[in-house]
Every structure is written in structure tokens, then in C-alpha cells.
Amino acid sequence: MLKFFLSRLATFVPTFIGVTLISFAFIRVLPGDPIVVMAGERGVSAERYEELRSQYGFDQPLWVQFWEYFTGVLQGDLGESFITNRPVWDEFFSLFPATMELSIVAIIIATALGLPAGVIAAVNRGKFFDRALMSTALIGYSMPIFWWALLLIIVFSGNLGWTPVSGRIGLLYYFDDVTGFMLIDSLLSGQKGAFTSAVSHLILPSIVLATIPLAVIARQTRSAMLEVLSEDYIRTARAKGLSPGRVNGLHALRNAMIPVITVIGLSVGTLLAGAILTETIFSWPGIGKWMVDSIFRRDYPVVQGGLLMIAVIVMIVNLTVDLLYGLINPKIRKR
């Protein structure tokens, strides 16, 4: 198992270097001068412009800028925001709980609905439920996130008035930020109605963010279940007179969970990518909205550091999934 872990860990180094290079190059490919953006409508004189270029290191060759950035990353320094002058580390971890809370609720929704949908579709292969569920999953996977989000806002927030349009909690509530997770902090505050307000603000963005992972999990569960249901030991279990629920739920689903677990783990990358649009549309104060705002402001350190941190989180999750895969299926460790 140690050899398997080290082989997977070895892929971290080239991936990390590649992501660092991409995050450095990405923001610089976009048109726009960060100094001009920072100056705004007031503008700056030619002397002040050159002074700021020298201050932020833009007068250096690109390879020198990258080397300083890369060596800083290796030392745990992601730089400071051009706009707020706060360390990127501090800004990232102050906003990350909001994205984490949204992603956790989204993956819970996706798993809780996707697994049963996949099992029901597999058990009823070729029948009405199979076609209806898989068609719905395909539609959910194909819908653009921004269109789906705006549609839900129009229906449930605009026409019906059931849910808020944006934010994490109502403006009437204010309490200390203990954990960064609004659901937990609203409960700890003891304020009447605070938890309900936090839940109501979380409903629409979590549903939007869960839609694509839900569809993927449902289709992957169906595919894995169909493969397992054709195995000899399933036919043996049925021949022994075991109930369909026991055969499908205990024997088939448990063995079909190996590829499904992988898909659930890999969905973290989808959630973080989808959170960028979802948080922007719902004005959710998380990493996604922070990144979008920083791109428009050409805040180089924030964009570089944010992309790098998101990539590292995805790599850690993928590594964890690989290790779980190896624990569940010992044959994987020998590859």
C-alpha cells in the first residue's frame, strides 16, 4: 500500500509545477493593465506609472517574475492583493468556508438523489422509470448553469417568493463568525429565525451546483449496477431466494460503489468550477465570486493564488479517492 501511495504522490510534483505555471500565465494572457485598472478613472502620471510598475515587479522579464512567484509559493507566500493589500492566504481561507458549505450541501443532494435514481433505473432497465430518470439526468447535465440558476430565481424567488435571491443570510441577522459555516454559526448565535434564513439562502445555489454531479452520479450508478447485476453471484443470490431489496441493495450496490465513489470524489472539481458561476449569480461570498471579481480587477496575486489553491484541493481529493479505491479493490494497488 505504501508503494501505491508513493506512486500516486509522485504525480503531485509535475502537476503542481504545471498548475503554478498555468496560474501565472492565465491572468497575463488577458488584455488589460493592472496598474491602469487600479488607477481607475483618475489615471496616473507617466512617472507614477513607472514607479508602480517597478514596485510590483512588472518591469522585470516574465521569467524573473515567474521565478519570484514560484519561489514565494514554495515558501508558503502567495503574495498580497493589489486591491486590499491583504495576504492572499488570509483572503482565501476567510472565504473558503462559504464555498465549502455550498459544495458540501450540493454533493449531499447529488449523492442522496443520484444513487437511488441510478439504482431504480438499473433495476427497471428499458422500462419507463429507466428512460424517464436517465432522460432527466441528461437534461440536467446539458443545461447551462447560468441559465438554470436564472430560471430558478425567476420562478422561486421572483414569481413565488419562496427563497431569497442572493446572499448567505438575511440582513436582519448579525453574529460572530465562529466557524465560517453559516448554518453552524446561525445555530450557535441563538437568534430566532437565523438558521431558517441561512437554509433558505442556501437552497437555490446548492440545487444549481448539485445538478451536474447529480446527473453524473445517477448515470454512473446505473452503469455500474447493470454490470454487477449480470454477475454470477447475483444470479446465485436470487436463486437462493433472497429478496430483491437484499440482492440489489446489499450485494449489487455495495460492489457497484467502487466506480461511483471515484465519480463522487472527482465531482469536487466540478463543484469548485461550477461554484464560480453559481456564486457570481447568487452573490454568494465565496471563492468563486472572489476569483471572478479579481479577474475583472486584474488582481494578479489573487488570481494566481486562488487558481493554485483550488488545483491543490482537487489534487488532494483525487489522491484521497485513489487511496480509497486501492483500499476497496486490492487489485488496483498492484498496477
Is the pTM higher than 0.85? no
Q: What is the band of 154 on the pLDDT scale with cuts at 50, 70, 90?
A: very high
User: Average of pLDDT values for 73-95?
Assistant: 85
Q: What is the band of 57 on the pLDDT scale with cuts at 50, 70, 90?
A: confident
**Given a cut of 70, is residue 82 above it in pLDDT?**
yes
pLDDT digits (tens, 9 = 90+) for 272-324: 766 788 888 888 888 888 888 888 888 888 888 888 888 888 888 777 777 76
Q: Are 301 and 79 in contact (CB under 8 A)?
A: yes
Residue 291 makes CB contacts below 8 A (sequence gap 6+) with 276, 302, 303, 306, 307
pLDDT digits (tens, 9 = 90+) for 248-268: 666 677 777 777 877 887 777
User: Average of pLDDT values for 84-89?
Assistant: 86
Q: What is the band of 113 on the pLDDT scale with cuts at 50, 70, 90?
A: very high
**Given a cut of 70, is residue 159 above it in pLDDT?**
yes
Which has the higher per-residue pLDDT, 239 or 110?
A: 110
According to the model, what pLDDT value does residue 106 have? 92
User: Average of pLDDT values for 111-118?
Assistant: 89
User: Average of pLDDT values for 110-134?
Assistant: 87
pLDDT digits (tens, 9 = 90+) for 88-107: 888 888 888 888 889 889 99
**Given a cut of 70, is residue 58 above it in pLDDT?**
yes
pLDDT digits (tens, 9 = 90+) for 171-199: 888 877 788 888 888 888 888 888 888 89
Q: What is the band of 207 on the pLDDT scale with cuts at 50, 70, 90?
A: very high
According to the model, what pLDDT value does residue 204 have? 92
pLDDT digits (tens, 9 = 90+) for 11-43: 777 888 888 888 888 878 777 777 776 666 566
Domain 93-284 has CATH 1.10.3720.10: yes
CA-based nearest residue to 301, from 55, 78, 93: 78
d(CA 186, CA 174): 9
Cell 493564488, located at residue: 305
Across the chain, mean pLDDT equals 81
- CA distance readout (Å), 218 to 40, 149, 212, 256, 298: 48, 21, 10, 12, 39
* Angle in degrees, CA 218, 324, 94, rounded to 5: 80
According to the model, what pLDDT value does residue 109 have? 92
Cell 455495495, located at residue: 254
Q: Are 314 and 132 in contact (CB under 8 A)?
A: no
**Given a cut of 60, is residue 331 above it in pLDDT?**
no
DSSP, collapsed to helix, strand or coil, labels residue 78 as coil
Q: Phi, psi (5° rounding) for residue 53?
A: -60, -40
Q: Residue 241 carries which DSSP code?
A: T
**Can you give the residue ranges of every domain in the chain?**
1-83+297-335, 93-284
| Amino acid symbol at 89 | W
Rg from Cα positions in the chain: 24
